[in-house]
Amino acid sequence: MTDFKDYKKTMKVISLLLATCAVGLCAVQNSENTNLTVANQMHSADEAAAEAQKPLLNRGEITEVMAGQYLASRFAQTNHDWKTANKYLGEVMQETGIAQTDMLQRAMILAMGAGDVERAIKIAEQSKKLSPQLQNSIADVFVITKLIKENKYKDALNMFNALPQDGTVKFIGPFMDGWINAGTGTLKIDNLRANTVQLYHSILISDFLNDHSVIEKMIDNSLKVENINYNEMERIADLYAHVGQMNKATDLYQKILKAMPESPHIRDKIKAIENNENKNDLFKKIETAQQGMAQAFFDIANILYNEANDESARVFAHMALYLDNNQNEARFLLGEISTKHKQFKTAVSFYNAVPKDDEAYLRAQHDIVDVYEEAEDFDMALSVLEGLQSQDKSVDTLIKIGDLHRHQEDYKNALKYYDMATTEMGGEITEEFWYLHYLRGIALEQLDRWNESENELKTALSYRPDEPYVLNYLGYAWADKGINLEQAQDMIQRAVDARPNDGYIRDSLGWVYFRTQNFDQAAATLEKAVELLPYDPTVNDHLGDAYWRVGRKLEARFQWERARNYAEEDEIKKTISEKLEKGMPPIDAKNMK
């Protein structure tokens, strides 16, 4: 089995290679030297731009206007707008007729990353014709992808077998080898063993070829891989359902739902098993090798994205959609990447590409709402949700509208929609929507309806006793009110143990130490909270209070100053200013501070 560290190293190599290709630094490889020279390619983007322009201008092959468009392309790409970058570079190449290998390389990667797949493949073919003696594995992969699209699996296999064994091929080669061979009717999965994703595809290929002899054993083995995430766990559960192991599937779904309670599609899968519905609804069998390769390209994109290699992920996500236009997970990934880089209009277009009759449509529309929230366009977000709610009174959509109001600190309207969701369930919150008690508790607490809030939060905990965010919210509320302090400390400590890198939960623990006058422990805990949330005014204010109580008054004033600088609300600034002026009063029975 391939060592996982080697696999991750190879993954980083391909992401660097794609990135350097896209900035014009991707050196093709002579057939006598197929090793990647990534270190030699790593110049700064500014240096690369200057180097790319000078020879073109000096030879008179490019006008200053075209040079401006070339730089505009570079600027757009730097700002993660690959569509615009592709447009400008395409205009330069069309106007000048320049077909240098390095320019073709950059244009090819940009076109693929912008979703202009046909153009990317055309450039790849042009590049191979221009320099047939040079080996360019990325161009080869693009051309092989076209052959897969055309169901020319023997031609694809011949071309794949001739590829240089560089970083690109080591990373994506096992997937391509497996699915291209599957397209010819041959089972070849020996190289798909390095991680859960490869194991998953070995199972998919075996299932596609109706070779079920070792599938259950492979599914069991995939659970033994270290650091398995919830998406991978869901896939394994789907496979268990597919082979009839419903108890194992349900156990995994329940584990996922416990960690991510706001996951309606997981609830739907559990319900489908309970109602003895068609197991094929839980697992979509791969119908063609082309579809399987599309799934592999998406999985490669997802791996790269999780390693913060967004641009390389973008390339493979578009390759997935090229092979399978129904690969909506690739659209979701592209939407997420676009949102991350503030390309909000592009993100919305990806989500809107999910058809209304698709099971993922509601999820896509909810993601559009998240995009508009990120763009601070509350009106558009609300408009989308109200449109959905008028079509179908979905409990999830009603909760989503409530969440939208809650994020705007409009707790009255948030509670209104949470109540509407409860009414839609028949007037009583069902166990599958237990977290609605938590959301109602937050809204009620903010509306100063504490007794009702406390009851809702306790009810939420009765369903999920170890849910860290509910433990934290109720524990902090108790600590802030100076009640149930011992129980609050125990609850928040459990929350910290579950989420050690959550600064807000650590702040809660520090605050309960403060309220119990354990000021040394409070200061130490709040210091860790500030490390995690250095710009949060409340956390800095709390640390200032703790420093004051342990006699570190200069440091206390420094933290209060920081808290006041970061605070947005005038009332909070006023309170902190008073402490900066007068310090904190002595502790007495009425004043725990």
Per-residue pLDDT tens digits for 324-351: 999 999 999 999 999 999 999 999 999 9
Q: 3-state class of 563 per DSSP?
A: helix
β-strand partners of 30: 134
The predicted model gives 566-576 an average pLDDT of: 93
> What is the model's pTM?
0.75
Q: Is 134 helix (H, G, I), strand (E, B) or coil?
A: strand
Q: What is the DSSP letter of 29?
A: E
Q: Is the pLDDT of residue 37 over 50?
A: no
Q: Span 303-314, mean pLDDT? A: 89
pLDDT tens for 139-185 read 899 999 999 999 999 999 999 998 887 777 888 999 999 999 999 99
Spatial separation of the C-alpha atoms in residues 508 and 495, rounded to whole Å? 10
Q: Is the pLDDT of residue 316 over 60?
A: yes
Residue 12 has pLDDT above 70, yes or no: no
Mean pLDDT of 192-216: 85
State the DSSP code for 280. G
Tell me if 11 sits within 8 A of 307, measured CB to CB. Answer: yes
Which stretch of 12-16, 378-382, 495-499 has the lowest confidence by average pLDDT? Answer: 12-16
- Cα–Cα distance between 412 and 122 in angstroms, integer? 57
Q: What is the mean predicted confidence (pLDDT) over 274-298?
A: 85
What is the number of residues in the chain? 593
| Burial grade of 59 (CB within 10 A; 0-12, 13-18, 19 or more) | exposed
In which band, very low, low, confident or very high, does the pLDDT at 244 lie, cut at 50, 70 and 90?
Answer: confident
Once rounded to an integer, what is the mean pLDDT over residues 45-53?
Answer: 41
Position 280 scores a pLDDT of: 59
Contacts of 168 (CB under 8 A, 6+ apart): 13, 14, 17, 137, 138, 141
Q: Which of 63-67, 233-237, 282-286 has the lowest mean pLDDT?
A: 63-67
Of all residues in the chain, the percent with pLDDT exceeding 90 is 53
Rg (CA), the chain: 28
Q: Of the spans 226-230, 403-407, 478-482, which averages the highest pLDDT?
A: 403-407
What is the average pLDDT across 217-237? 80
36 confidence band (pLDDT: 50, 70, 90): very low
Q: What is the mean pLDDT of the chain?
A: 83
User: pLDDT, tens digit, for every residue of 439-475?
Assistant: 999 999 999 999 999 999 999 999 999 999 999 999 9
Higher-confidence position of 89 and 295: 295
Top-confidence residue, 482 or 276? 482
Query: What b/e string do you get for 306-317 counting C-beta neighbours within 10 Å, with b at 16 or more?
Result: eeebbbbbbbbb
Position 573 scores a pLDDT of: 94
Q: Exposure of 29 by Cβ count < 10 A (0-12 exposed, 13-18 middle, 19+ buried)?
A: middle
In this prediction, residues 21-49 reach a mean pLDDT of 35
Q: Phi/psi of residue 29, each to 5°?
A: -115, 135
Provide the pLDDT confidence category of residue 592 given band limits of 50, 70 and 90: low
More confident residue, 132 or 549: 549
Bridge-partner residues for 135, per DSSP?
29
- Mean pLDDT of the region 275-295: 83
Grouping H, G, I as helix, E, B as strand and the rest as coil, residue 587 is coil
